[in-house]
Structure 1
C-alpha cells in the first residue's frame, strides 16, 4: 500500500468518494495509486509530460496491479484527458502562474469537472484570480508545513449561474476585527479564508515572504533608474500592507 506525504494526504482527503480523477503532473502516480487502493476513486488518469516521471508512473501503476483503474498518459496539462472524462482534477507541486496557464489552455476539457484541488508551490494569487475570472467558487483553503516548506491547498467547485454573481463577494474589501482594511488584491494574495482563520503556519509563511520582499527592496535600492525607484515604492507599500494585516490579526488572536 502506498503511503503519502502529509501534503499529498491532505489533497487525497479532499477527493470525493466515487470520483473519476485526473492527476496532472502526477510524477510517480502516488496520489491516484493511493486513491485507488483506498477505494476512493473509480477511475483515474495520471498525466505526466516528462519522460522520467511518466515511466515511473507507469511502473508504479503496473506493480500496484491498478492498470484497469489508472491510465498513465503522456502529455502537457489537460491535453491528457477528454472533455467529460473526469469530474475531479488535482494539480500539485508547481507554480501558481503555470497552474493557471494549464487551466486556461485546457478550458475546453473542464465541462463536467466538479472539483479542482490545487496545490501551488508559489503564486497562489494567480490561481485565485483564475478561479474567480472563470466562474469557479473557491470553497476552502488550507495551509501546512512539511519538511521545512509551507504549502497551500485550494479547493474549488463549479458555481451555478446564480452563484456566479456572488463570487466577487469573497474578495470584497473587508475590515478585520483589529481595524485594518484588507483590499481585494491582498485577499487574493493572502487567502480570503486563511486571513479569517490565521493559523500559526500562515503567519510563518508571511513573515518569510516579508524577508524575501525586504531583500528585493535592498537590491532595487542599488539602482537609481526610475523603474527601480517606482518598483521600490510598490514593493515597500506591499510590505506595509502585509505587516498591517499580520499585526492586526496577531492582536486579535485568542
Structure 2
C-alpha cells in the first residue's frame, strides 16, 4: 500500500464522488492512494512538465492502475473534457495565486456538482477571492505544518447564493478565523514580524503611503491574534 505524507492524507479525506482529477499530480501519488482506499473509481492525473508526466505513468503502471488512472500532459484544467464526469478536483502544493490562475483559466471546465480541494502554501487570500468570483463556497479549511512549512487546505463546493466574504474572512479564512490553532497563530505572527522588518527599512517621508498600508495590515492581524 502506498503511504502518503500528512498533507496529502488530509486532502484525501475530502475527496467525493467516483472520479478525481488531480492537477499537478506529483507522481500520481494521490490518485493511487485514493484508488487503493476505495475513495474513487477512476482518476485523471494532470502534469504540465514532461518529466513528472513520465514519472506518473511509471508509478501508475507499477501499482497496476493503468485502466483506472489516465495520466495526461497539459496545462491546468485544459486536460479535462466534458466526457470525463469529474466529481472532485484537487490542486495541491502551490501558491494561492497560481491555483487561482489555474481555476480562472479553466473556469469553463468547472461544473456545479464538482468539489474543489485546494492546498495553498502562500497567499491564500487571492485564492479565496477567486473561489468567490467563481461561485464556489468554502465548506472547510485546515491549517497545519509539515516539514517546517505551513499549509492551508480549502474545500469548496458550488454555491450561487452564498454570502460574500468580509475582508477579514478573505485574508484569514472564514472557518480558520473561528479555529485559531497554534499553526494559525504562528503563520500570522511570522507575517507581523516580516512586516515590522519591512517597516523598519522605510523612510517616513518618502514612503508614507506604504507605511500607512503596513500599519493597517499589522493592526488587522494583531486584532485577529
What is the TM-score when the length of structure 1 is the normalising length? 0.84
Contact 1:83/1:110 (CA < 8 Å) preserved in 2? no
Contact kept? 1:132, 1:167, Cα under 8 Å = no
Question: What is the total number of aligned residue pairs between the two structures?
Answer: 224
Aligned to 2:27: 28
Paired with 2:147 and 2:157, the residues of 1 have a C-alpha distance of 30
2:44 pairs with 1:45 = yes
Tell whether 2:210 aligns with 1:231.
Answer: yes
Alignment of 1:25-174 (within 5 A): 25-83=24-82, 85=84, 86-111=86-111, 113-159=113-159, 164-168=160-164, 171=165
Contact preservation (8 Å) 2:23, 2:47: yes
Shift in CA distance, 51/224, structure 1 to aligned 2, threshold 3 Å: farther
- C-alpha distance in 1, partners of 2:197/2:2? 41
Unaligned segments of structure 2, at least 5 residues: none
Q: Which residue of 1 aligns with 2:179?
A: 197
Secondary structure at 1:154 match in 2: strand
Structure 2 length normalisation: TM-score? Answer: 0.94
Tell me: higher relative CO, structure 1 or 2? Use CA pairs within 8 A at least 6 residues apart: 2
CA RMSD of aligned residues (A): 1.5
Asked if the contact 1:24/1:46 (under 8 Å) is kept, the reply is yes
User: For 2:76 and 2:132, how far apart are their aligned partners in 1?
Assistant: 20
* Deviation of 1:218 (Å): 2.7
CA distance in 2, matches of 1:7, 1:42: 22
Shift of 1:187: 1.6
Q: 5+ residue gaps in structure 1?
A: 172-183, 247-254
Question: Alpha carbons of 1:125 and 1:84: their partners in 2 closer, same or farther (altered >3 Å)?
Answer: farther
Aligned-partner Cα distance in 1 for 2:18–2:33: 13
Query: Residues of 1 paired with 2:155 and 2:184: CA distance?
Result: 17
